[in-house]
Amino acid sequence: MKRFFVLLCVLVLVAGFAVADDIGVDVGVEFYNGNINKADGDPTDSQIAPFITYENTFGGALTFHAGLENYYIHLEREPGPDGDYFPQDFDLNIWLNYRLNLSSASNLQFYLQNQNNVEVEPVHHGTTYQTNTGTLTPGVRFGQNTDFGGFYVRFRAPYDYVRAGRDDTRFRLRSRLGWTSNFGLGLWAQVNSQITPELDLYQALLLYASYGTDSFGDFDVTVTIPKEVSSGITINPTWGYDLENSSISLDCTFSGVGTDDGISLDVSPYVEYRAGAWTLYTQFDFTNVTANGGDMSISPTLGVKFSF
């Protein structure tokens, strides 16, 4: 794993130096303490997560982003084949965004992201890597500037093609309407929908290509009826203020979803302070604030990063 991390750092730095004076690299570390109040009697999950990302806009239209978003090191030991160890996993994230200016006041953007979470598992005298989740996300965004600020509408459709321990896939739709003012305020609202099909899409396509009917040989399988449909809404007000040599920004995410016990509400306030190339930020995740079907849990995050 050390060799992989070093290789990623080298590739990011070489690519950055090759295309721009401003490299576009962020390096940093996050400290996370999940469920510090031990809600529902569950243990805390303390983590430290270094990260490195690279982002560059080519010609102002095409933006490329790649990085080891977080390398999570869980600080509670677990038993392994060669003794106790610290569980580890990491996120690999790559996305492209293309911006097409329709006029001086409007634009259309196309987005494609691939994100994978990989678990690092110890084996006897070695280490293996298993993908927990793999997600492909296409998206489109339309923006319009007016005298009252900028308005935009965005649609993204995450498709989970890998889900560890499950034999199905999952489709989601994120429909967002947002507004940004000329004086630091902003607001967006997003409707979240999720569909879990009866059959893995890849398996369904293979079976259909092989047999061409809904019967699929000796098996009677209906592909079109979902076994799970859920929806929710997210609202996020934002505020930012520029100082002489620094800036501060605040936002708070409110996410609600319907459950068998009623509406479950999550609240996540976030504060960020930038000074030169340094950024310091903190976030508190209050999960299940309405305490439907369990207790509310509190999970703080503290992070710092350097941009160059």
Domain hosting 191: range is 77-242
pLDDT at position 4, please?
A: 47
140 has a pLDDT exceeding 70? yes
Which of 22-31, 160-169, 205-214 is predicted least confidently?
Answer: 205-214
**pLDDT at residue 193 above 60?**
yes
For residue 228, the model assigns a pLDDT of 55
Say how many domains are in the chain: 2
Cα–Cα distance measured from residue 280 to residue 141, given in angstroms and rounded to the nearest whole number: 29
The answer to whether 4 touches 11, Cβ cutoff 8 Å, is no
pLDDT at 260: 67
Q: Are residues 106 and 185 in the same domain?
A: yes
Q: Kindly state whether residues 52 and 185 are assigned to the same domain.
A: no
Structural tokens at position 75: 């600080």
> Do 278 and 185 fall into the same domain?
no
- With DSSP H G I counted as helix, E B as strand and the rest as coil, what are the percentages for the chain, rounded to 5? 10, 65, 25
Give tens-digit pLDDT for 77-96.
887 777 777 888 889 999 99
Task: Calculate what percentage of the chain has a pLDDT beyond 70.
Answer: 75
- The stretch 185-211 carries a mean pLDDT of 68
Residues 53, 165 within the same domain: no
Residue 58 contacts residue 19 (beta carbons within 8 Å): yes
Q: State the pLDDT at residue 167.
A: 55
pLDDT surpasses 90 at 248: yes
266 within some domain: no
Q: For residue 39, which phi and psi values (nearest 5 degrees)?
A: -60, 145
**252 within a domain of the structure (yes/no):** no
Within a domain: 105:
yes
206: in domain: yes
Residue 266 has pLDDT above 60, yes or no: yes
- pLDDT, tens digit, 9 for 90 and up, residues 84-137: 778 888 899 999 999 999 999 999 999 999 999 888 877 666 677 777 888 999
